[in-house]
Amino acid sequence: MTLPSPSAEFLALQQAVVGRYSLERELGRGGMGIVFLARDVGLDRLVAIKLLPPVLAAIPTVRDRFLREARMVAGLSHPNIVPIHAVEERDDLVYFVMGFVDGEALGPRIRRAGPLAPRDVMRVIQEVAWALGHAHARGIVHRDVKPDNVLLERDGGRALVVDFGIARSVDADTPASGVRAGTPQYMSPEQISGAVVDARSDLYSLGATAFYAATGRLPLESHSTEGFITKHLAETPPALGSLASGLPTRFTEAVDRCLAKDPAARYPSAEDFALEVEARKVLAEQRMRIAYQFGTMIEVPRAAIVAERIAEYSEFFSFGTNDLTQTTFLKVTDYSDFDDLDELKDLWDSLIDHLRTVVGG
């Protein structure tokens, strides 16, 4: 089998970094850059090198802004952000060296295997929110949050965000060409309209990413760039809860809030959204734990409500199959998933009977 010949960019970059990095292969390319897998010769570790396309590097203002903002992004240090190790220019080449993530981007992962499991959706989106919050606190807006810019580690599935700030640097000084920085499927209305954007624009894009991760479909669908632009400006996406099962209601409502057209209606910060997701994760885990402890077939959200009723009578119950063990029941106050009081009473009565049988009383 004959291997494809290296590209002109591959050969030029290898010549520029010879002795420091050994290029292995091209990982991918797009309008904003070409990414190569390389080995850091001195540290004997794999890295990724992103090269600014030569046609853009030839524009002095684009080149300067790219370097300035890439160096600013290199100052970010967060476990959910792909680190930038070096930002350099050699002759006509402009590039930066970043950590190599052994894994897969969220976008290809969903296209290959379908939506994430509910627990993974919440974990990944929260990790991305923490990363965005870290960048926003330092004055950096991503402007191109999307599944393809979220990398998932092969071991453990940790989410890492890539390409902070680079889309903005290209957008700011590229001659008018009808091309917007960002990805129309995930762009906020204010970014589409050319208004000044802030952290809340990234939250809109994160909401669209969460929608895709949970359902395998876009919140607003079209067959053209113009169609996506029109829909994000004028149409309201369907409620996530109407399409995704297994996610806490408050989480789906939080995602819906991120997709509000008016930035003021969204969360004020990515950190606020991350904290809301954390609260939903904890509640879901409590519900699962309680249902498991009961050993009944009661639906998990409803078991949590019954557990609170039990907690009103006693903080502890002893139960088990072989050995009786003492377990603390966690109090839960979310009644949003239960509105049938007669059914609640039936569940309560059946659960009490079950516990009396288990604990011998």
HEC per residue, 205-270? HHHHHHHHHHHCCCCCCCCCHHHHHHHHHHCCCCCHHHCCCCCCHHHHHHHHHHCCCCHHHCCCCH
Alpha carbons 50 and 61: distance in angstroms, whole number: 19
Cα 177–182–185 angle (5° rounding)?
110
Please say whether the beta carbons of 136 and 270 come within 8 A. yes
| Phi/psi-derived region of residue 186, left when phi > 0, alpha when psi is between -120 and 50, beta in every other case | alpha
**b/e 213-228 (16+ beta carbons within 10 angstroms → b):** bbbeebbbebeeeeeb
Annotated active-site residue in 64, 91, 102, 144 = 144
Of 251, 250, 147, 274, the closest CA to residue 199 belongs to 274
* 168's tokens: 């903005």
144 catalytic per annotation: yes
Q: So which residues are the catalytic ones?
A: 144
